[in-house]
């Protein structure tokens, strides 16, 4: 089994127009910047993929990563919990101009809906958002005297994620808090592409320390010394 692809360009080559794309990371922590930028490169060269639905906790910062995708005009819709942040002009401008759609999801519900998709659970009940405008139109039910909202799984065509160590079978570890949404998105997409900082042989990751088992990963590409979104934003990099 060898899931390794040699370039980020190959890794993102088959993502079609209109795809639902999960992108791992929380802010810049664990964000697969090189995969995102490879996708932007492809769009600039070929016009595809466009009309994407992007699923991420945020909606991009500064002029790199998801923000650069939005600026480039590849994104039709964001599904996220927190699009508002200090450097979120790319999304804000398009949103206020009515040029991008937003599905706002509470953060824990977003995580659980993604996990449910990966786990074959089509719907579940959560207390979160009960009685709020984000629950409007959703079924509710009482369990043990408390009210809950029914939420559906959230699937994607592709997940772009960032690991620390990887192997050719697709086993992954993550660095520090860079784990966040990455292991969940790996489970929830038809196809998962992981960039890893270190690519080792099968067995190079202790089986007890594998965080994402290879069954959830389709493509692995090594990106040594990956860039950090937060550093790029703070130094004003424009992609």
Partner 1 sequence: MSDFNLMEDKLSNAQIAWRAAQDIEDGSYVNLGIGFPELIAKFQPEGRDVTYHTENGVLGFGAAPEPGQEDWDLINAGKKAITLKPGASFFHHADSFSMVRGGHLDLAVLGAYQVAQNGDLANWRVGSKGVPAVGGAMDLVHGARRVAVITDHVTKDGGPKLVETCTFPLTGVGCVTRVYTSLAVVDVQDGHFVLREKLPAISMEALQAVTGATLHTDGPVGDLIVPEDL
Binding site for a copy of itself (CB under 8 A): 112, 116, 119-127, 141, 143-144, 146, 148, 152, 173-176, 179, 207-209
**What does the alpha-carbon distance between residue 9 and residue 41 come to, in Å, rounded to a whole number?**
8
* Residue 1 binds which entry of a copy of itself, partner 1, none, CB below 5-8 Å type-dependent: partner 1
Binding flags for partner 1, 32-71, as an x/- string (CB under 8 A): -------------------------x--------------
- The answer to whether 224 contacts partner 1 (rule: CB under 8 A) is no
Q: Which are the contacts of 47, defined by CB distance < 8 A and separation ≥ 6?
A: none
For the bound state, the minimum distance from the C-beta of residue 233 to a copy of itself, rounded and expressed in Å, comes to 25
Strands (E), the chain: 20-23, 52-55, 75-80, 101-104, 123-126, 140-143, 146-152, 156-166, 189-199, 219-222
At residue 223's C-alpha, the angle toward residues 217 and 226, to 5°, is 115
Tell which one of 108, 139, 236, 238 touches partner 1 (CB under 8 A). Answer: 108
51 half-sphere exposure, CB direction, 13 A CA radius? 4
| Options 14, 44, 73, 84; binder of partner 1; rule CB under 8 A | 84
89's CB contacts (< 8 A; 6+ apart) are 67
Which one of a copy of itself, partner 1, none is in contact with 218 (Cβ closer than 5 to 8 A by kind)? none
By CB under 8 A, name the one of 53, 56, 129, 195 that touches partner 1. Answer: 129
């Amino acid at each position: 089994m060898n899931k390794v692809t040699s370039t980020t360009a190959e890794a993102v080559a088959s993502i079609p127009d209109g795809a639902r794309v999960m992108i791992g990371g929380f802010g810049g922590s664990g964000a697969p910047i090189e995969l995102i930028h490879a996708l932007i490169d492809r769009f600039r060269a070929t016009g595809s993929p466009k009309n994407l639905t992007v699923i991420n906790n945020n909606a991009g910062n500064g002029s790199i990563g998801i923000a650069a995708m939005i600026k480039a005009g590849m994104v039709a819709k964001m599904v996220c919990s927190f699009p508002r942040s200090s450097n979120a002009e790319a999304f804000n401008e398009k949103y206020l101009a009515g040029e991008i759609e937003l599905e706002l999801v509470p953060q824990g519900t977003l995580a659980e809906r993604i996990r449910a998709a990966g786990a074959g659970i089509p719907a579940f009940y959560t207390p979160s958002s009960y009685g709020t405008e984000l629950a409007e139109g959703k079924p509710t039910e009482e369990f043990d005297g408390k009210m809950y909202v029914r939420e559906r799984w959230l699937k994607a065509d592709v997940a772009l994620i960032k690991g620390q160590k990887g192997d050719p079978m697709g086993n992954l570890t993550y660095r520090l808090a860079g784990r966040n949404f990455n292991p969940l998105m790996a489970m929830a997409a038809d196809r998962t592409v992981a960039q890893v900082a270190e690519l080792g042989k099968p067995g190079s990751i202790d089986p007890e320390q594998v965080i994402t088992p290879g069954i959830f990963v389709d493509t692995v590409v090594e990106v040594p010394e990956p860039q950090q979104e937060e550093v790029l934003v703070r130094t004003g990099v424009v992609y």
